[in-house]
Structure 1
Amino acid sequence: MNKRLLYSLVLSGAIRYFISISKYSKSIENHVEVSTPLNSFKRLKEGVFLYNNGIDPYIGDIFHENPFILITASFLLNNFADFISLIFIFVDLVTAVFIFYGTKGISKKNFKKQQLEVSTYAEGTEEIQFNESDINNVPFYCALAYLFNPYSILNCVGQTTTVWSNLILSLMVYALSKELKLLCLILLALETQRNFYPFILIVPIALAFSENSKSKNINRLMTILLFAGIFGGLNYLAFIQMSSWKFIDSTYGFIIHCRDLTPNIGLFWYFFTEMFDHFRQLFLYTFQLNTTILYLFPLTLTFKESPEFLLTILLSLITIFSSYPCIGAIAFYMSLIPLWKRVSPFMSHNFIVMTTFLVTSILGPTVYHLWMYANSANANFYFGVTLVFSTSQIFLLTDLCFAYLKRKFCLSHGVSFDKTMKLSLE
């Protein structure tokens, strides 16, 4: 293993461990920025307790994880209850390792693809081209972006199930980079079972696996159908385990209908708290379309030649617009952004985005405390902060997309060019 990565794993693991045994760990676990009704460790333990006592945890409105996580959590809590915090830390570190090797494979692929196209590039564009050093450096930056991101650290200390979700996604990225199609689709189906929205990632995955195929459209269709079959099979296995289909409504139904309006860093809770009931369905489906297929087709048409970049953008959009977002999911998509290092010279809003992230990350918990505990603020204050926080993420994504397109243009036309305009007056 890369020595730099090993040292980083040890240091980040130590940071996670010392925070998890500190007096602040319980406070972190209870923060709405970290825990949501979908990923809360408290709700997970409640679901396991009900399951172990022969009560269906999906009957009430407490537990919303899929049956596979329920069974895994039951095994861990029954046999390794004293080591749960260490298990979460270990899983988080393994996630960073798979991010490293997954992005390394993607970096190699980008470099090889560039070698085939370099003859079409304009002169003087070497600085914005992928080079051989990126194959080792970029994956390390991606791993660092996850290991030392405050969001991923707080997510790990809070022991949310998003830690496991990030592991599944990192394994999926690794399988994609190694062209392990079946494994990649199984992992995507598992994550879709847990979080619903990732089903749209089948589009960049289908594009990626069809790049070297002669019949691309047929290959893509077969990939989508295979994913649908695996997803259906996993749900049937869950039905066999639970002897009931009630988990469908408690997982997908809960996410789609946004039944719990506990405040979080997303946009759903405030709107539907204020919404008149007779408008709820209309806006609910509008919001869900915005999270899933609204941007899927235009982004696919624009970035179809780079499925991995499309995957990064779609992951980001899912995180921003989902009904129960959390900072742990933000940490994962941020770890993929260094993969596009050569795009960064064309990004123009870095300072604004970084400053907004910093200010809102500090101001959010502060305003929430003033609202809930000090009674000196209200929901408008907190939602205002989360709205700016979401806007900063949108600025980051739009900046990244435009930078990618600018780099693509400059590779073909040159980094610097003259544009002469002639105006004739008669």
Structure 2
Amino acid sequence: MNKKLLYSLLISGAIRYFISISKYSRSIENHVEISTPLNSFKRLKEGVFLYDNGIDPYDGDIFHESPFILIAANFLLKNFGEFISLILIIIDLLSAVFIYYGSKSISKRNYERQQLEVSTYAKGTEEIQFSKSDIDNIPFICAFAYLFNPYSILNCVGQTTTVWSNFLLSVVIYSMSKNMKFICLLALAFETQKNFYPFVLIVPIALAFSENDKSKNLKRIITVVTFASIFGLLNYIAFTYMGNWKFLDSTFGFIIHCRDLTPNIGLFWYFFTEMFDHFRELFLYTFQLNTTILYLFPLTFTFKESPEFLLTILLSLVTIFSSYPCIGAIAFYMSLIPLWKRCSPFMSHNFIVIATFIVTSILGPTVYHLWMYANSANANFYFGVTLVFCTSQIFLLTDLCFAYLKRKFCLTNGVTFDKTMKLSLE
């Protein structure tokens, strides 16, 4: 293993551990930016308690995790209850390891693609081309961006089940980069059963697995059908174990219908708090279409030659627009952005985005405290901050998309303007 990566794992693991045993861990666990009705550790323990006492945890409106998370949590809390925090830290560090090796394979693949096309590139574009050193540098930057991101650290200390989600998604990326189709589809099926929205990632995954195949369309259809079969089988196993289908409504139904309007860093809660009931279904399905398939087809047609970039963008979009977002999920997609460091010269909003992230990350918890505990603010203040926070993420993604397209254009046409052409136009 890379020494720099090993040292980073040890240091970031120590940071997570010492914060988790500090007096601040309890307050971190209760923050709405970290814990939501979908990933709360308290709700997970409540579900396990109900299950142990012969009560179906899906009968009420407390537990919304998948049955497999219930089974795993039940086993861990019974046998390793004192080490849950340490186990979650190890899982989080493993996510970074998978991000590192997945990014390494993706960087190598990007470099090999470039070598096949380099003869068509314009002169003077060496600075925006992938270099051989990127194969080693970019993976470490991606892993470092995850390990030391305050969002991922707080998410791990808060003991949310998003730690499990990030691990599954890291396995998806690693196995996709290594052409391990079954493991990739299995991990995606588990994550889809938990969070619903990641099903859109099957599109870039199908594109990636059919990249070097002559019968591409057939291979893509087989990949999608295989994923649907695995997903259906997992749900049937869950039905067999639980004895009913109630978990479907408590997981997918809860996510789609957004039944809990507890404040979070997303856009759903405030909008549907103010919404008239007779308009609710119209706007609910509009919001859900916006989160899932609205951008899927245009982005697929635009970035189909780079399934990894498409996966990064789609994962970012479903994280931003999901009904119960949290900072832990944001930390994961942010760790993938360094994969496209060669696009950075064309990104024009870096300072605005970084400054907005910092300001809203500090202002959000402050305004929430003023609203809930000091009674000197209201919901409009907090939603204003979260709206700006979401806008900064959208700026980041649109800037990255345009930078990718600009880089692609400049590789073929050159970075500098043709002076003779400019004079002739004048």
- TM bucket normalised to smaller: over 0.9
How far is the alpha carbon of 1:270 from its aligned partner?
A: 0.2
CA offsets, 1:232-258, max 9 Å, x none? 011001001101100000000000000
Counterpart of 1:226 in structure 2 is 226
Counterpart of 1:42 in structure 2 is 42
Q: Distance in 2 between matches of 1:117 and 1:184?
A: 28
Indicate yes or no: 2:43 matched with 1:25: no
Indicate yes or no: 2:390 matched with 1:378: no
1:208 maps to a residue whose letter is A
Counterpart of 1:144 in structure 2 is 144
Alignment of 1:13-412 (within 5 A): 13-412=13-412
2:84 maps to a residue whose letter is I
CA offsets, 1:270-292, max 9 Å, x none? 00000000000000000000000
2:422 maps to a residue whose letter is T
Q: SS of 2:32's equivalent?
A: coil
Q: 1:136 to 1:53 in 2, by over 3 A?
A: same
2:107 maps to a residue whose letter is S
2:249 maps to a residue whose letter is D
CA offsets, 1:371-393, max 9 Å, x none? 00000000000000000000000
Deviates more, 1:115-124 or 1:379-388: 115-124
Q: Distance in 1 between matches of 2:262 and 2:211?
A: 43
How far is the alpha carbon of 1:182 from its aligned partner?
A: 1.0
CA offsets, 1:154-191, max 9 Å, x none? 00000000000000000110000100011111111110
Counterpart of 1:420 in structure 2 is 422
* C-alpha RMSD of matched pairs (Å): 0.8
How far is the alpha carbon of 1:421 from its aligned partner?
A: 6.5
Q: Distance in 2 between matches of 1:63 and 1:243?
A: 17
1:82 maps to a residue whose letter is E
Q: Distance in 2 between matches of 1:228 and 1:213?
A: 21
Q: Distance in 1 between matches of 2:209 and 2:130?
A: 22
How far is the alpha carbon of 1:54 from its aligned partner?
A: 1.2
How far is the alpha carbon of 1:124 from its aligned partner?
A: 1.1
CA offsets, 1:36-75, max 9 Å, x none? 0000000000000111111110000000000000000000
Deviates more, 1:254-263 or 1:48-57: 48-57
Q: SS of 1:260's equivalent?
A: coil
Gaps of 5+ in 2: none
CA offsets, 1:343-367, max 9 Å, x none? 1111010000000000000000000
Gaps of 5+ in 1: none
Q: Distance in 2 between matches of 1:423 and 1:273?
A: 56
TM-score, with length taken from structure 2: 0.99
How far is the alpha carbon of 1:417 from its aligned partner?
A: 2.2
1:245 maps to a residue whose letter is W
Q: Distance in 1 between matches of 2:425 and 2:309?
A: 41
Counterpart of 1:9 in structure 2 is 9
Q: SS of 2:376's equivalent?
A: coil
Q: Distance in 2 between matches of 1:219 and 1:322?
A: 30
Q: Distance in 1 between matches of 2:251 and 2:355?
A: 36
Q: Distance in 2 between matches of 1:249 and 1:212?
A: 40
1:251 maps to a residue whose letter is T
Q: SS of 2:348's equivalent?
A: coil
Q: SS of 1:417's equivalent?
A: coil
How far is the alpha carbon of 1:222 from its aligned partner?
A: 1.0
Q: SS of 2:422's equivalent?
A: coil
1:8 maps to a residue whose letter is S
Q: Distance in 1 between matches of 2:54 and 2:167?
A: 29
TM-score, with length taken from structure 1: 0.99
How far is the alpha carbon of 1:422 from its aligned partner?
A: 4.9
Q: Distance in 2 between matches of 1:286 and 1:82?
A: 44
Q: Distance in 2 between matches of 1:389 and 1:127?
A: 32
1:420 maps to a residue whose letter is K
How far is the alpha carbon of 1:423 from its aligned partner?
A: 6.2
Percent of matched pairs sharing the same residue? 81
Q: Distance in 1 between matches of 2:348 and 2:423?
A: 26
